[in-house]
Structure 1
Amino acid sequence: MWTTKLLNLDIKTAQEKRVMDLHELDEIRLEAYDNSIIYKERTKFFHDKKIRHKYLKAGDKVLLFNSKLWLFPGKHKSRWSGPFEIKKVLPYGAVTLLGKDETEFTVNAQRVKKYMANENTEVGSSLRLVDPAPV
């Protein structure tokens, strides 16, 4: 109150300016809220576009990711073990796998990927590379 008297300002105009500033601040807040919703929608769309869905069914062969191999993995040691066979697909992203000795265990489906092997190739067989015939 004393500042308005000291600066010779009108209280009525100062009050109107303050009300207008508060309304403008409220509009800015609402606009920022709308912009944040738009940002979240765009980010979700971009993220969902990059997701590859896994369509797993019982009987598929899969490889299992070993996440505990990070401490001393070895230079050429693979983090994927298997192949395992899916016994059943459970709801909410879990699968039950059959081990080589017919043991069952349940894991998160994010830890598995399809095993793409030729059915004609045996597990112990090796591939031999042959140079093409010289021309």
Structure 2
Amino acid sequence: MPIEFEDKTLRTTLKLNMTLYEAQKDRIQELNALDELRKMVVQQTKLIQNQRVKWHDKYIKENKFQAADWALLYDSRYKDTVGKFQTRWLGPYEIEEVLKNGAIHLTTINPVRFKLLVNGHRLHLYHKPTTKQQFLQQFTSKDEISVLAATRQVPTTIEGSIWGAVPIASVGTFLKFHNSSSIIS
């Protein structure tokens, strides 16, 4: 032990009327109590950090991008402006590769292709446009439309509307909504 420590212990023993052995024992108990206090503070800090991480991660929406998806890129230079008709999204871009750290390789879909490397948080999934026929085929097949038409005994399309030939499924949906809204009012 250093001499300064021994002298302080000796002075403490003389002031408190303790023997040298009792003063050393008291000092060791104080050091043990200090060590226990430090361990308790470390545990409390870890607990608080885990709570903050859990709270923070609760509000993070994880985007799962895959190669060959299309995405829109957020243009951050307009984040502070409040332009009513100003778009903040660029693109669409095609996703070429998704890296483990969240970065994503993008390429333009134009004939002149160039590559970009961006953070995945700046992207929003873009759904590829479909034609009207592809859109309708996603929900119903022609057999289902003909079965619906046979049970309702109405033609499969209505001619002469402002949209041209309208499938009966969309007219039925419109009529249901129109009838329910007139009942409410």
The TM-score normalised by the length of structure 1 is: 0.68
Distance verdict in 2 for CA 1:49–1:22, change over 3 Å? same
In structure 2, the gaps of 5 or more residues are 1-9, 133-177
Task: Specify the alignment match of 2:114 in structure 1.
Answer: 104
1:75-118 CA-partner distances (Å, limit 9, x unpaired): 222221222222x1142322222243432222222221112476
SS of the equivalent of 1:42 reads: helix
2:83 is the alignment partner of 1:83: no
CA contact (8 A) 2:66 2:98 kept: no
Rg (Cα) greater in structure: 2
Indicate the residue corresponding to 2:43 in structure 1.
Answer: 34
The aligned amino acid for 2:107 is L
Structure 2 Cα separation of the partners of residues 2 and 10 of structure 1: 10
Question: 1: CA distance between counterparts of 2:129 and 2:97?
Answer: 23
Q: Is the alpha carbon distance of 1:117 and 1:59 closer, same or farther for their aligned partners in structure 2, counting shifts above 3 Å?
A: closer
Query: Which residue is equivalent to 1:43?
Result: 52
Higher helix share: 2
Identity over aligned pairs, percent: 24
In structure 1, what is the Cα distance between the partners aligned to 2:74 and 2:91? 9
TM-score, with length taken from structure 2: 0.53
Assess, with a 3 A threshold, how the Cα gap between structure 1 residues 27 and 49 changes in structure 2: closer, same or farther. Answer: same
Say whether the 8 Å CA contact 1:83–1:115 is kept in structure 2: yes
Aligned residues: 123
Q: Secondary structure in 1 aligned to 2:32?
A: helix
Structure 1 residue runs without a partner (length 5+): 122-131
User: What is the alpha-carbon distance in structure 2 between the residues aligned to residue 55 and residue 101 of structure 1?
Assistant: 27
Residue 55 of structure 1 corresponds to 64
Q: Quick one: distance in 2 between partners of 1:102 and 1:56?
A: 23
Q: Secondary structure at the match of 1:81?
A: strand
> 1:90–1:96: 8 Å Cα contact kept in structure 2?
no
Q: 1:49 Cα deviation (Å)?
A: 3.2
CA spacing shift, 1:2–1:40, aligned 2, 3 Å: closer
Larger RCO of the pair (alpha carbons < 8 Å, separation 6+):
1
Name the CA distance, whole Å, in 2 between partners of 1:70 and 1:52: 20
